[in-house]
Amino acid sequence: MKGAQSIDRAAALLRAVSTEPSGIATARAAELAGLTRPTAHRILSALQEKGLLDVDAARGTWLLGPELFLLGSIAARRFDVAEAARGDVRALAEATGESAFLSVRRGDENVCVLREEGSFPLRSFVLQEGTRFPLGVASGGLAILAFLDDAAVDAYFRRTDLVPRWGEQHGEAAIRARIAETRRAGYATNPALVVEGSWGMGAAVFDAHGEPAWAVSITGVESRFRDERRPQLGRLLLDAAHEITRKLQGPAASRRD
């Protein structure tokens, strides 16, 4: 389609800017979007002219712009699940003492949309609102990937190679082994595979069609995820995921219950 490449590049840069709420440099945005710096700067400037981005001239960084806020406030009427789930995510943080999150599937990625802090003073900061990981990386994305049907999982691996960026521990065979374990347990565990010393656990949240569209997860330091405690954390995660699923599915879930 004529112009599709330009749209793809602009969308990639918008996503890149969204990963750094305090502002991102042109070179870093270009790297994340897979573009040269001059190309990235040209597109970023065009997006700024339309109000989709803003620029901090003193720091030379790009930020999401006011037009995105206006568009987002309208889109939120259809897509904002964070408020519906906030109470359950907060309750999960209180029950576990760990930071708790809600994330949403967007294509082959999992995007954090809500973070609630727990009471334990040592925390992991791997996930923030707006952080994106490929499916299969971090516990929320692994939980979503695990509960896709086998054909969808196979298709994902045909188009995705996580090893160059995420290492051999994210090769297909390794992730498939974790998928099998996640399906057996009902929840996913990330034993510090993204950041050393930072563990995570996640459970899938399902839409009205029974598809894993969101995930609820917790992260914390390794000492908080010992063998004897993980089953308890898993049960709390599954309870929270079920309650959020029930709320987001509405009457359809109530009839199945």
Residue with tokens 């042109």: 26
Distance CA 2, CA 12 (A): 17
Q: What pLDDT does residue 82 have?
A: 79
Q: Is it the case that residue 198 has pLDDT exceeding 50?
A: yes
- 91-149: per-residue pLDDT in tens? 999 999 999 999 999 889 998 988 999 888 767 667 777 788 999 999 999 999 999 99
Structure confidence at residue 2 as a pLDDT band (50, 70, 90): low
Over range 50-69, report the average pLDDT: 92
State which fold the 80-256 domain adopts.
Answer: Beta-Lactamase (3.30.450)
For residue 218, report the phi and psi dihedrals to the nearest 5 degrees. Answer: -135, 150
Over range 23-41, report the average pLDDT: 94
Structure confidence at residue 62 as a pLDDT band (50, 70, 90): very high
Are the beta carbons of 124 and 99 closer than 8 angstroms?
yes
Over range 141-164, report the average pLDDT: 95
Q: Is it the case that residue 162 has pLDDT exceeding 50?
A: yes
- 110-124: per-residue pLDDT in tens? 989 889 998 887 676
C-alpha closest to that of 85 among 183, 220, 206 = 206
- 219-245: per-residue pLDDT in tens? 999 999 999 999 999 999 999 999 999
* 120 or 158, which is more confident: 158
C-alpha pair distances (Å), 54 with each of 14, 18, 63, 68: 11, 12, 5, 10
| Mean pLDDT score across all residues of the chain | 89
Are the beta carbons of 132 and 141 closer than 8 angstroms?
no
- Cβ-based burial of 14 (10 A; exposed 0-12, middle 13-18, buried ≥19): buried
Query: What kind and span of H or E run contains 89?
Result: helix 82-96
Are the beta carbons of 81 and 214 closer than 8 angstroms?
yes
Are the beta carbons of 218 and 233 closer than 8 angstroms?
yes
- Boundaries of every domain in the chain: 4-70, 80-256
Kindly report the pTM of this predicted structure. 0.73
* Amino acid code (one letter) for 200: G
Distance CA 127, CA 130 (A): 8
Assign domain 4-70 to a CATH class: mainly alpha
Q: How many CA atoms lie within 13 A of 97 on its CB side?
A: 9
Q: Give me 41's structure tokens.
A: 């700067």
Q: What pLDDT does residue 131 have?
A: 85
Over range 205-230, report the average pLDDT: 93
Q: What pLDDT does residue 208 have?
A: 87
Task: Give me Rg for the CA atoms of the chain.
Answer: 19
Distance CA 72, CA 130 (A): 14
Distance CA 32, CA 78 (A): 28
Structure confidence at residue 255 as a pLDDT band (50, 70, 90): very low
